[in-house]
Amino acid sequence: MRWIRPPRARLGAIPVALALAGAALAPGTARADEPRAAPIELLAGEIASAIAGRPVAVRCEDDAGWQADAVARGFDGAEVWGYVALAVDPDARVFLVEPDAAALSPRACRYLQAYAGATLKPTTCAVPVRAPAARRGRRAKAIPRSPCFVDGWPTARMPDGYWADYHRYAIAIGTLAHEAVHLGQARAGLPMPSEAELESEATCHGIQLMPQVVAGLGGTVDDGRGVARYFLDLVYPGMPPEYRAVPCVRGGSLDLTPDDGVWP
Ligand SMILES: [Zn+2]
């Protein structure tokens, strides 16, 4: 995996999510005048609910709302892609309530919306089929679309701009998976693990659940495996240390299916 040039989006500092702990936050209450959920929020909510194991919502923030969240919660709105606010008793270190929603940045939602709406998924390519030796001389046929990244390698030579976008699609998909894992982590009354444990689990389980997210957005599980592997190879190494405190490795403590040979 050397000839994919890292796109401009910084690999070095991309917190995929931010778990806020310490402050007890009242669970959100729906108001009658709240705007109705956008289609991508509904779809992302279904995907997140399946991962979290209970009904949860996904909220797509607009630019002003995201900026306000960033100021109120003290994160860098330009770098963070999504977050779940966890209500924790700071003394007893136990979860107070199950969070009912994840918030996604406008950028995360734009990429998820574009992905869900695309008939030809943007993480796939038209990959030329190599003619078998006996049929050399015939023109290679192009098959319609297949995963553009398989087992850690690109399957076709694509312009840099393609991979810059692929990178952001991978982060958006990984963010939804990551936040959905966070939503499932918090159980009222249960002790809260360390932030590093929460982030490492959400990151590594999230990566393994990316094929499920891709399938939920209308892509194929095969393509989802490629996107997950891309994330593991090219996004994960640049994430902050607390997201990698417990290593995300095949057969490790965070491997969801340690005996099946499938990784990630
Ligand atoms: Zn997180």
pLDDT in tens, 123-156: 999 866 655 554 555 665 656 789 999 999 999 8
Total-model pTM: 0.83
The residue type at 120: L
What confidence score (pLDDT) does residue 9 get?
29
What confidence score (pLDDT) does residue 27 get?
33
The alpha carbon of 16 and the centre of ligand 1 are apart by a number of angstroms equal to: 7
Burial 24-58 (b: 16+ CB within 10 A, else e): eeeeeeeeeeeeeeeebbebbbebbbebbeeebbb
What number is the average pLDDT over the span 57-72?
A: 96
- How confident is residue 29, by pLDDT bands cut at 50, 70 and 90? very low
Question: Nearest 5 degrees, angle CA 237-CA 248-CA 96?
Answer: 105
Task: Round the average pLDDT of the chain to a whole number and report it.
Answer: 84
Please answer whether residues 258 and 251 qualify as being in contact, where contact means their C-beta atoms are separated by less than 8 angstroms: yes
- How confident is residue 38, by pLDDT bands cut at 50, 70 and 90? confident
The alpha carbon of 243 and the centre of ligand 1 are apart by a number of angstroms equal to: 8
The alpha carbon of 228 and the centre of ligand 1 are apart by a number of angstroms equal to: 17
Residue 112: closest CA among 183, 170, 62: 170
The alpha carbon of 135 and the centre of ligand 1 are apart by a number of angstroms equal to: 51
What confidence score (pLDDT) does residue 138 get?
61
The alpha carbon of 254 and the centre of ligand 1 are apart by a number of angstroms equal to: 15
The alpha carbon of 127 and the centre of ligand 1 are apart by a number of angstroms equal to: 35
First to last CA, the chain: 16
| 252, two tokens | 């490790």
pLDDT above 50 (res 57): yes
What confidence score (pLDDT) does residue 141 get?
61
Please answer whether residues 234 and 213 qualify as being in contact, where contact means their C-beta atoms are separated by less than 8 angstroms: no
Distance CA(97)–CA(101), nearest Å, equals: 12
| 211, two tokens | 């094929």
The alpha carbon of 198 and the centre of ligand 1 are apart by a number of angstroms equal to: 7
What confidence score (pLDDT) does residue 178 get?
97
Residue 96: closest CA among 186, 195, 194, 202: 186
Strands 88-89 and 57-60: unpaired
**What is the percent of the chain where pLDDT is above 90?**
71
Using the structure block, give the residue that is written with the tokens 């689990």.
201
Taking a 5 Å cut-off on Cβ, the residues next to ion ligand 1 are 17, 19, 199, 202
The alpha carbon of 111 and the centre of ligand 1 are apart by a number of angstroms equal to: 19
Please answer whether residues 174 and 104 qualify as being in contact, where contact means their C-beta atoms are separated by less than 8 angstroms: no
Q: How many helices (H) and strands (E) does the chain have?
A: 6, 10
H/E stretch holding 144 reads none
The alpha carbon of 248 and the centre of ligand 1 are apart by a number of angstroms equal to: 14
